[in-house]
Amino acid sequence: MTKLSTQHLLGIKDITKEDIELIFSTADNFKTVINRPIKKVPSLRDTTIANLFFENSTRTKISFELAEKRLSADVVNFSVSGSSVKKGETLIDTVNNILAMKVDMVVMRHPNAGASLFLSRHVSAKIINAGDGAHEHPTQALLDAYSIREKHGIVKGKKVVIVGDILHSRVALSNIFCLQKLGAEVMVCGPTTLVPKYISSLGVKAEFNLRKALDWCDIAIMLRIQMERQDIKYFPSLREYTMLYGINTQLLASLKKEITIMHPGPINRGIEMTSDVADSKQSIILNQVENGVAVRMAVLYLLAGRIVGGK
Ligand code: CP
C-alpha cells in the first residue's frame, strides 16, 4: 500500500490499520532524514501549508511547522490573537480568505469538536486536525503509538492504561482508537467523575484504583487535568487527585515490572507525576516529542499525495 485511504486527517476513527502502518513506515524514513546533518528533503516544494491555531499550543504547533519546513513546504502561521477573528469574522470566512492566497493544506487546532470536519466540507484544501475540542487529536495518537512501537518493538498485545481526565481528553479518544486498531489492550483509570459512562462501549476497561491499573499495564499514558475544559468541580482538590492518581518513584519502584511512562504534554509536574518520574529512564516523554516531527512529516507527505519511495 502506498496511499492513504483518506483525503484529510480528521480523526483516527476514520482511518484504517493499514493507513496507520503506512504512516509509521513512512515516518521511519523521515526519522532517518531528520537525524542527518542535512535535515531537509524537497518533497513538498511548491506546496503551501497554513497552520491555523485557534487555541494555545507549544508542541503541536512547533512540531507541524518543523515537519513542513523539513519537507521544504511554504508555511504560513495564523493564531487567533491579533487576527480578524477578534473582529467577528467566521471560521469559513477566515479560512476562505487564507485559501484565496492559494494554500494547499490546512493544519487546524480549534476549541470546538467537529471544527475540522466542518471545514473539510466547505473548503477544497486538505485538512489535518491538530486537536478539536475534547474530540480527537490524531497526530498525537499516531506519535504515541509510534513511540510505543519504537520502545517495545510492537504495539499488538501491549497493555496500555490511560490515566486521568479521560472525559475532556481528545488525546485519550484518539489513543483508544489508534491502539485498538493496532491490537493493543486499552484500560482507562481516573476518578469516576472523569471517566465517561460510555467508555465500555468503546471496548475499553475502566479501573478506578491506580495501583491495580499500573500492576496490569506495560505502558501508562498520563494525562493533564484540563482545568480549562472543566465547567464544574470533578474532584475535591488537586492535592487529593495527586494522592490518588499521581505517579511517584516509590509507586513505580513497588511494581513487579518496569513500565513505560508517557505523557502528551504539557506536564503539570507534581500533579500527574513527580519531576523525578517525568525525567526518569522509564519515561519516553521527550522521545514522543522527537517522533512527532517524523510522524507529522509522514502525514503531510502522504496526504499531499506523494508516492512512498518517491521523495
Ligand atoms: N500534546 C499537545 O497537543 O501539546 P500542545 O497543546 O502544546 O500542542
Task: Give 187's strand partners.
Answer: 161, 205
Instruction: Taking residues 39-67, report their average pLDDT.
Output: 95
Cα(59) to ligand 1 centroid in Å equals 5
Residue 311: per-residue pLDDT: 39
Cα(308) to ligand 1 centroid in Å equals 28
Q: pLDDT band for 228, please (50, 70, 90 cuts).
A: low
Instruction: Taking residues 283-303, report their average pLDDT.
Output: 98
- Work out the mean pLDDT of the chain and round it to a whole number: 93
Instruction: Taking residues 277-301, report their average pLDDT.
Output: 97
Cα(1) to ligand 1 centroid in Å equals 30
Between CA 59 and CA 247 the distance in angstroms is 23
Instruction: Taking residues 196-218, report their average pLDDT.
Output: 97
Domains defined along the chain, listed by start: 12-136+290-303 (3.40.50.1370), 138-285 (3.40.50.1370)
- 268-282: buried (b, 16+ CB within 10 Å) or exposed (e) per residue? eeebbbbeebbeeee
Residues of the chain above pLDDT 90, percent: 82
**pLDDT tens readout for residues 63-113:** 999 999 999 999 999 888 767 777 788 888 888 888 888 899 999 999 999
Query: Does pLDDT of 227 surpass 80?
Result: no
The answer, yes or no, to whether any atom of ligand 1 lies below 6 A from the CB of 228, is no
Instruction: Taking residues 213-221, report their average pLDDT.
Output: 98
307 and 32 in contact (C-beta within 8 Å)? no
The answer, yes or no, to whether any atom of ligand 1 lies below 6 A from the CB of 265, is yes
Which residue CA neighbors atom 3 of ligand 1 most closely? 60
More confident residue, 96 or 12: 12
For residue 54, the one-letter residue type is F
- Pocket perturbation via mutation, ligand 1, pick of 55, 57, 223, 226 by most ligand atoms within 8 A of CB: 57
Contacts of 47 (CB under 8 A, 6+ apart): 71, 73, 74, 104, 105, 304
Query: Does pLDDT of 307 surpass 60?
Result: no
Residue 227 backbone phi and psi in degrees, to 5: -55, -35
171 and 223 in contact (C-beta within 8 Å)? yes
Residue 231: per-residue pLDDT: 67
Cα(237) to ligand 1 centroid in Å equals 24
Residues of the chain above pLDDT 70, percent: 96
195 and 166 in contact (C-beta within 8 Å)? yes
Cα(58) to ligand 1 centroid in Å equals 6
Q: At what angle do helices 17-34 and 285-303 cross, to 10 degrees?
A: 110
Q: pLDDT band for 310, please (50, 70, 90 cuts).
A: very low
From 3-17, 89-103, 136-150, 276-290, the region with the lowest mean pLDDT: 89-103
Residue 229: per-residue pLDDT: 65
Residue 213: per-residue pLDDT: 98
**Residue 183 in grid coordinates:** 491490537
The answer, yes or no, to whether any atom of ligand 1 lies below 6 A from the CB of 264, is yes
Residue 88: per-residue pLDDT: 82
- Pocket perturbation via mutation, ligand 1, pick of 52, 53, 55, 59 by most ligand atoms within 8 A of CB: 59
Between CA 107 and CA 130 the distance in angstroms is 6
- Among residues 175, 184, 193, 145, the alpha carbon closest in space to that of 295 is found at 145
Residue 308: per-residue pLDDT: 53
Q: Which atom from ligand 1 is nearest to the alpha carbon of 60?
A: 8
Query: Does pLDDT of 306 surpass 50?
Result: yes
Query: Does pLDDT of 263 surpass 70?
Result: yes
Residue 100: per-residue pLDDT: 86
Instruction: Taking residues 170-199, report their average pLDDT.
Output: 97
